């Protein structure tokens, strides 16, 4: 299967990533991707950008960028889920402007540690009409109950991410492989699509998918449920596209 898109990457604006936006876009195009999502961490992540950064993304002419580099570019955010009610760290009027939105639990920004509260937080984020993707639902330090999450994602037409960076040896998230196997089994049962993302914080990681692909192959995970093979199919899962329907 050809992995044509990577929707989750970070630039220097995130505070702990190392390239500029144009370096990332050029590299993604050189690597043969057809779509790149640039999704800086939300303002609650220490060192990331202020809400004004996201507001001002309208200053960037996506069409011109796409003409220059020959790749579709989505400028969005990886928002922090802050509590069990699924509160996110950008006001609705800012994040409704974004091209793509990922909502993730991150240890420095999320204080609950209990499976019930973590699961509730993720489901609330899924229910939020502005959220497109749930980022890395895989970290054993923030345990989740997968069945209600897969069920909610299916009901609301949202994507669940398989994060290649969580699976990289030496990665700091715990138990990702075991958790993904649980999640993928349910995704097969419910016919819930996933998106494989690199979560690149450096240009050399853009489009990385080999660790995820190995597990998908081993589990005989159906190709039609891996959204990365079709830009068109992916766009149908983004809010902007959904609104046009
Ligand atoms: Zn990061
Ligand atoms: Zn993240």
Residue length of the chain: 245
pLDDT, position 94? 93
Ligand nearest the Cα of residue 205 is 1
Ligand nearest to the CA of 166: 2
Q: How does residue 244 score in pLDDT terms, banded at 50, 70 and 90?
A: low
Q: How far is the CA of 111 from the centre of ligand 2 (A)?
A: 15
Mean pLDDT lowest for which of 12-21, 109-118, 191-200? Answer: 109-118
Query: pLDDT per residue over 53-72, tens digit each?
Result: 999 999 999 999 999 999 99
Closest ligand (CA of 136):
2
Pairing of strands 159-163, 194-197: parallel
CA of 226 to the centre of ligand 2 (A): 20
Nearest ligand to the CA of 135 is: 2
The reported pLDDT for the residue numbered 245 is 56
Q: What is the mean pLDDT of residues 180-209?
A: 98
Ligand nearest to the CA of residue 40, numbered in listed order: 1
Q: What does the pLDDT read at residue 149? A: 98
Tokens of 152: 């909610």
What pLDDT, on a 0 to 100 scale, did the predictor assign at position 202? 98
* The pLDDT of residue 113: 74
* Cα 218 to ligand 2 centre (Å): 25
Ligand that lies nearest to the alpha carbon of residue 11, given by its number in the listed order:
1
Q: pTM for the whole thing?
A: 0.97
Q: What is the mean pLDDT of residues 228-244?
A: 86
**Domain ranges, residue 86:** 5-244
Cα of first residue to Cα of last residue in the chain, in angstroms, is 28
Q: How far is the CA of 244 from the centre of ligand 1 (A)?
A: 31
Classified as helix, coil or strand, 89 is coil
pLDDT at residue 146 greater than cutoff 80: yes
DSSP reduced 3-state for 212: helix
Query: Order of strands across the sheet with 5-6?
Result: 5-6, 35-41, 72-80, 101-104, 133-134, 159-163, 194-197
pLDDT in tens, 81-103: 999 999 999 999 998 899 999 99
**Statement: residue 242 has pLDDT above 80:** no
Give the environment of ion ligand 2: residues with CB less than 5 A: 104, 135
Element holding 75 (H helix, E strand): strand 72-80
Q: What does the pLDDT read at residue 170? A: 87
Average pLDDT over residues 127-154: 97
Query: Which residue has tokens 């004004």?
Result: 52
Domain holding 178: CATH number?
Answer: 3.20.20.140
CA 63 to ligand 2 centroid distance, Å: 27
Give the pLDDT mean for 159-182: 95
Residue 131's pLDDT is what?
96
CA of 48, nearest ligand number: 1
- Counting the structural domains of the chain, the total is 1
CA atoms within 13 A on the CB side of 227: 28
């Amino acid at each position: 299967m050809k992995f044509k898109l990577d929707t989750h990457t970070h630039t220097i604006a995130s505070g702990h990533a190392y390239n500029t936006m144009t370096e990332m876009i050029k590299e993604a195009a050189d690597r043969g991707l057809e779509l790149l999502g640039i999704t800086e961490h939300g303002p609650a992540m220490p060192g990331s950008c202020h809400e004004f950064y996201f507001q001002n993304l309208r200053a960037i002419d996506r069409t011109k960028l796409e003409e220059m580099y020959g790749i579709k570019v989505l400028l969005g955010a990886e928002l922090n889920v802050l509590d069990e009610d699924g509160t996110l760290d950008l006001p609705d009027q800012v994040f409704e402007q974004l091209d793509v939105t990922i909502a993730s639990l991150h240890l420095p920004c999320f204080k609950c540690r209990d499976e019930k509260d973590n699961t509730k937080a993720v489901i609330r984020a899924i229910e939020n009409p502005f959220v497109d993707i749930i980022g890395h639902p895989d970290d054993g330090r923030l345990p989740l109950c997968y069945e209600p999450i897969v069920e909610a994602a299916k009901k609301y037409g949202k994507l669940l991410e398989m994060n290649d960076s969580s699976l990289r040896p030496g990665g700091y998230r715990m138990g990702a492989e075991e958790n993904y196997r649980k999640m993928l089994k349910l995704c097969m049962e419910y016919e819930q699509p996933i998106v494989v993302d690199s979560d690149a914080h450096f240009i050399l990681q853009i489009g990385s998918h080999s660790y995820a692909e190995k597990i998908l192959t081993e589990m005989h995970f159906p190709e039609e449920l891996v959204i990365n093979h079709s830009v068109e199919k992916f766009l149908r899962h983004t809010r902007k596209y959904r609104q046009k329907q």
